[in-house]
Amino acid sequence: MRAALDAAHAAAEADEVPVGAALVHAGRIVAVAANAPRRLTDPTAHAEMLAIREAARLLGRERLEDCDLWVTLEPCAMCAGAIAHARIARLYYGAADPKGGAVEHGARVFAQPTCHHRPEIYSGIGESEAAGLLRDFFRQRRG
């Protein structure tokens, strides 16, 4: 989660919503990504999506069933769907996101009968730092 949090800090510095993700395979981080829709001019460029795409490319396969994803914020519907498609084994996330999350809120993607893969889910890891980063970011933008 340290790598994911560092990526979230980098996102904030780049004026992107501060969310970071890291993808782990066999105890090794294979991809780290920061949220970057503005920088990449890509509305799908959330940290989770970038980390999954990079890991799939590096490992040379579209199924990542032996990989874990660490992300600083509860994934949205898009990212939860991608996690299911990639067959990620374990999902670790920091802060819950009542406004846009789709794991324990809203679409609850993994709880649907239409979801074909459900990772093990662990939440609240690094939560205070992850949530603090987001709070500071939005406070500063409003201020």
Q: Is residue 46 marked as binding?
A: yes
Using CB under 8 A, which residues numbered 42 to 61 contact a second copy? 42-45, 49, 52-53, 56-57, 60-61
d(CA 89, CA 74): 16
d(CA 82, CA 67): 13
| Residue 107 sits in the site that holds a second copy (CB under 8 A) | yes
| Residue 118 sits in the site that holds a second copy (CB under 8 A) | no
Q: Nearest to residue 46, comparing CAs of 98, 4, 2, 95?
A: 4
Containing H/E element for 68? strand 67-73
Report yes or no: 28 and 55 within 8 Å, Cβ to Cβ. Answer: no
What is residue 63's three-state secondary structure? coil
Stretch that binds a second copy, among 5-13, 24-32, 102-110, 122-130 (CB under 8 A): 102-110
| Residue 25 sits in the site that holds a second copy (CB under 8 A) | no
d(CA 88, CA 21): 13
Stretch that binds a second copy, among 1-9, 26-34, 95-103, 130-138 (CB under 8 A): 95-103
| Residue 100 sits in the site that holds a second copy (CB under 8 A) | yes
Which residues make up each annotated binding site for Zn(2+)? 46, 76, 79
Residues carrying an active site annotation:
48
The residues binding a second copy (CB under 8 A) are 37-38, 41-45, 49, 52-53, 56-57, 60-64, 76-82, 84-87, 98-102, 105-109, 112-116
